[in-house]
């Protein structure tokens, strides 16, 4: 089973629909790091969850590099996502409410053929966990994907590897 969800990004605090894209993802463990990992673009990510509920409901705060955002997610399989950028002040006002539901990681963007493989190296209590995600334009390209030899077991759809489970665990 592949993870697929619809993502709607919102700019500023406007609630106007800016983009609707169906994304299909696969998630893998790593056998080893690709050669030259440190040379690829990367950002530190800290995220916490304001709310988690039934039906895949999540409200997440994230700081990626210098960008701060709030995301609302709902559904399983095909998911709805709405994301808005936050000011430093807005982020800092909400961040304390995520206590006990946080994680941190470094994300590397590694080009592979026509894809970007996002490698997440977790920090803190999840140090040692490394996963990679690949996004696809359609189910056909997802099914046809041949991972590089440094990717390991496909853990797509395994709840214990989801960010929300890691933040809550």
pLDDT, tens digit, for every residue of 113-136?
Answer: 999 999 999 999 999 999 999 988
82 pLDDT above the threshold of 70: yes
Tell the burial category of 144 from Cβ atoms under 10 Å away from its Cβ (0-12, 13-18, 19+).
Answer: exposed
11 pLDDT above the threshold of 50: no
17 pLDDT above the threshold of 50: no
Q: What is the pLDDT of residue 77?
A: 62
Q: Which of 49, 108, 122, 161 is catalytic?
A: 49
Least confident of 104-108, 113-117, 123-127, 157-161: 157-161
Q: What is the pLDDT of residue 161?
A: 95
Structure tokens at 52: 């988690």
* Percent above pLDDT 90 for the chain: 70
DSSP 97-122: GGTTSEEEEEEEEEEETTEEEEEEEE
Provide the 8-state DSSP code for 129. Answer: -
Q: How many whole angstroms separate alpha carbon 102 and alpha carbon 111?
A: 28
Name the domain count of the chain. 1
Displacement of CA 112 from its chain's centroid (Å): 18
Q: Where are the alpha helices (DSSP H) in 48-126?
A: 88-94
Mark whether 49 is an active-site residue: yes
Q: What is the pLDDT of residue 117?
A: 98
Owner of token pair 């709030």: 70
**CATH number of the domain to which 17 belongs:** 2.40.320.10
Residue 117 belongs to domain spanning = 3-168
């Amino acid at each position: 089973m592949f993870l697929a969800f619809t993502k709607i990004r919102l700019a500023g605090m406007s609630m106007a629909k800016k983009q609707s894209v169906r994304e299909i993802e696969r998630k893998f463990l790593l056998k080893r790091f690709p050669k030259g990992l440190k040379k690829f673009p990367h950002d530190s990510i800290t995220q916490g969850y304001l709310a988690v509920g039934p039906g895949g409901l999540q409200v997440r705060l994230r700081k990626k590099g210098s960008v701060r955002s709030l995301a609302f997610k709902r559904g399983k399989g095909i998911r709805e996502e709405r994301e808005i950028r936050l000011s430093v002040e807005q982020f800092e006002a909400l961040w304390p409410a995520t206590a006990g539901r946080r994680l941190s990681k470094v994300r590397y963007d590694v080009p592979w053929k026509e894809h970007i493989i996002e490698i997440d190296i977790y920090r803190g209590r999840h140090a040692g966990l490394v996963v990679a995600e690949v996004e696809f334009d359609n189910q056909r390209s997802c099914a046809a994907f041949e991972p590089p030899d440094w990717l390991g077991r496909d853990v797509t759809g395994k709840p214990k590897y989801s960010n929300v489970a890691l933040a809550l665990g």
